[in-house]
Amino acid sequence: MRADTGFYLADVLTACRRHEAGFSIGARMIGRMRATIAAVDESQWTPVPYFEPGAAVTELGWRVFDQHRRPGQSWRGHGTWVRLIVRRTPTPPAIRARRAAAGQLELFPGYDYHPFITDQPGDPVELDRFHRAHAEVELAIRDLKHGLALGHLPSKRFGANQAWLVLQTLAHNLGRWSARLAGLAATPRQTIKTLRRRYLHIAARLTRHARRHRLHLPAHWPWARALIAGLHRLRALPGPAG
């Protein structure tokens, strides 16, 4: 189970243990965790490849939720040792200047910290990369809300909303896969909204001549060549086996 800090709860860890499920959950920097991270020596930080230069990872032993445990209380996630892995990234100068202008004192000058707890074996650098991958679902949710029609469900009936959700998700997957296979997605994070604006909402004209269909695109459409190349790629894909 990979999750953000909203799932940093003793009940969640209890459920994971009960069902023998591993976990990787973002930790809230509260209480003694701040002081513990602040005391980490510089030599204990391992540089990691990240889209922001200067990122690094370290690992600490951590007794989770120990501050909430009462004498004689059963396990329920309290007081258990887990791996606490922390990634730090340099704070952008613009954000630091904005914080200073607002009179906000920084506990960790120059860095932002992103801790998570896990019970998984392996190298901290690889576990950090594994944990960060859970955030990709947020991009899909954003795409479904703003690129399709899941900002609001249309009905008061559960069955109708369920069908709406399935249809929108199918449309999202078809759009993303078509763009990826056709080479139309400039980046993996390119949104459905962008794909629709560039390639689907084209004021084109379809004609038929000599028993062949012809697609007439606007002469000055900036993505016309990319669309034609993408159509050729899709047509060249092999059909389903069998």
Q: Looking at the domain assignment, is residue 188 inside a domain?
A: yes
* Domain stop point among 91, 113, 134: 134
Q: Which residue has the higher pLDDT, 47 or 106?
A: 47
Contacts of 91 (CB under 8 A, 6+ apart): 106, 110, 111, 112
Least confident span in 18-27, 47-56, 153-162: 47-56
What pLDDT is attached to residue 196? 87
Six-digit token string for 221: 């459409």
Q: Looking at the domain assignment, is residue 139 inside a domain?
A: no
* Domain stop point among 94, 109, 134: 134
Does residue 15 share a domain with residue 42? yes
pLDDT classification of 68: cutoffs 50, 70, 90: low
What pLDDT is attached to residue 74? 47
* Domain stop point among 107, 134, 161: 134
Q: Looking at the domain assignment, is residue 241 inside a domain?
A: no
Does residue 190 share a domain with residue 77? no
What pLDDT is attached to residue 75? 42
Q: SS3 string of the chain?
A: CEECHHHCCHHHHHHHHHCCCCCEEECCCCCHHHHHHHCCCHHHCEECCCCCCCCEEEEEEEEECHHHCCCCCCCCCCCEEEEEEEEEEECCHHHHHHHHHCCCCCCCCCEEEEEEEECCCCCHHHHHHHHHHHHHHHHHHHHHHHCCCCCCCCCCCHHHHHHHHHHHHHHHHHHHHHHHHHCCCCCCCCCHHHHHHHHHCCCCEEEEECCEEEEECCCCCCCHHHHHHHHHHHHHCCCCCC
Q: Looking at the domain assignment, is residue 182 inside a domain?
A: yes
pLDDT higher than threshold 50 for residue 4: yes
pLDDT, average across residues 39-48: 90
Does residue 156 share a domain with residue 110? no
Burial bucket for residue 194 (CB in 10 Å: 0-12, 13-18, 19+): middle
pLDDT digits (tens, 9 = 90+) for 74-123: 444 456 789 999 999 887 766 656 656 666 555 555 788 999 999 999 99
Amino acid at 19: H
What pLDDT is attached to residue 161? 94
Does residue 165 share a domain with residue 78? no
Q: Whole-model pTM?
A: 0.58
What pLDDT is attached to residue 76? 47
Does residue 155 share a domain with residue 64? no
pLDDT digits (tens, 9 = 90+) for 139-156: 788 888 887 888 888 899
* Contact status, residue 117 vs residue 39, Cβ threshold 8 Å: no
Does residue 29 share a domain with residue 52? yes
For the chain, the domain total comes to 2
Does residue 208 share a domain with residue 101? no
Q: Looking at the domain assignment, is residue 64 inside a domain?
A: yes
Residue with tokens 């200047």: 97
Q: Look over the chain and give the mean of its residue pLDDT values, rounded to a whole number.
A: 84
Enclosing domain of residue 9: 2-134
Tallying the residues shown for the chain, one arrives at 242
Does residue 185 share a domain with residue 89? no
Does residue 51 share a domain with residue 91? yes
Q: Looking at the domain assignment, is residue 230 inside a domain?
A: yes
